[in-house]
Structure formats: C-alpha cells, structure tokens
Amino acid sequence: MMTVSPSAGVIGAELSGVNLAELDDDSVKAIREAWLEHQVVFFRDQNLSPDQFLAFARSLGDLARYPFLPGIDGYPDIIAVTKLPDEQINFGGIWHSDTAYLDEPPMATTLLAREVPASGGDTMFASQYAAYDALSPAMKELLDPLRAVNSSAMADVSKTREDRIREHEGDELACYEAVHPVVRTHPETGRKGLYVNIAHTARFDGMTEDESRGLLQFLFHHQVKPEFTCRFHWEVGSLALWDNRCVQHNPVNDYHGFKRVMHRITLRGDRPF
C-alpha cells in the first residue's frame, strides 16, 4: 500500500511502501497520479541496478538523452552527475528547468543517489504553477502571449565538468536555442505555469536583452519564492522524479570537500504550448 506524505504546502510528496524494482501497472498508475498532483515525488531506499533504474523510467515514458554528456559505461541513457572533493562548482547549480533550450524539452527527470556527503547536498524544487497563480491578473494578461528565447550558452555554472575540460582544451561546444511560451500550459493537467528560468532564458522573443532584463529579473526572483518551494535531503538509494513542465530545481552547493554521485535519466517531452 503506497503512502503519500506531502513535503510542503504547494509542491512535493514522499511516497513510501513502494519497491520501484517490482512495479505492476496499478503501482505505476498510482505513482503517476501522485507525481502529476505534487509535481515532484521522492522515494527512499531504492538501491536499483542500472537495468532496474531504466525499467522504472521506461514505465513512465520514453527516454531522452542529454546532449552534452555521454552515459555511464554500457548505459548511454544514464548520466553520472558527479562533484569531486576538490571541485567548487556543481553541475546545474542554479535554478532551472532541464534543457529548456531544446525544441522539445524533457517531460521529466529522475535522479538516483549513489554517493552523498555526510551533510549538505540537498536539492530544492519550485512550483511554477504556484508562481503563476500568485501573479496579479494584469501581469498574467501581459505574460500570457509572450514567448522567450532559451539558450544553452547562457549559464556557465550549469555546465558539466566535462564541458569545462573541453572548453579549456579549446573544443567548441554545440549551442542549442529554442523559443517557448513564457506561460506554459501543462499537456496533462491543463494548468498554467511560468516557463522561464535564470539559467537558460536570454530575452523575450522580438525584444533585445536590455528591453527584456527588467521583467525577466522580476520573474526569476518571483518564481522561486520560499512559499513555492520544497527541499529534499538525499540519502544513498533516494530517488526523485520531477516534472520539468511545471517545476524548477536547484542543487544546493554546500558540501565542498566531499564527493556526491547521482545517476540521472530524462524522459522525452513535447513542444511547449
């Protein structure tokens, strides 16, 4: 019997009584329903093999590969998100929605903890439904028709260790750019949420960066207010599944001198509307 325990007021829930290595159709349906309602769901003590991790992800959707980093040995769809003890910058260490610079960004991301520091290394999540709902009617009317340009070249802090090595060696990285609605309608729930983020959104479509800056800075600050967020503390075997269509996340970089290794799978999405 699966138990759903909400993590915060508007986002997040921990699901217990579930073994992700042995799921039937009813369990998958229940997990998906909880995920759509709470936007990000968490599981404990899921010591899955790579094959079991892939099977869980495939039960929810089609896999999508990350464009900048190869997978772990033998598993091209699983990437290792690693920070070593001597590193100061972590992977994706800024509020963002994964790969919003793609024409069809991923529907979901699932992250499995393999090695974690004794303390620190939490991840924060922010509901973009709640962020949109809290805006005034006049601001919603202004934002609803706007579109924004998202670029993979925006945020140095979100680049992987491998990206930085390649740049240092003079290798040129591919640049992806996509134009998406500022306010996105979720294709399954029908709810509206903000779909800009400080890591990838460069400007409004048809405007310059200078013209866009003031309103974007307001949105970047607004969409991650504490009342729209929850925070998850990782243990080995912890797994998170979040909805990139309505959630932003931010891995907290507060564990210098320690190693952290996570395995990540993303699920194929569609073109935002």
Please identify every residue annotated as catalytic.
Answer: 96, 98, 249, 264
Q: What does each C-alpha distance from 118 to 14, 257, 259 come to in angstroms?
A: 21, 11, 10
Neighbour count for residue 118 (Cβ, 10 Å): 7
| Rounded Cα distance, 202 and 185, in Å | 21
- What residue has token string 């891995």? 251
- Which residues contact residue 230 at a Cβ distance below 8 angstroms, ignoring those fewer than 6 apart? 7, 8, 11, 12, 40, 124, 125
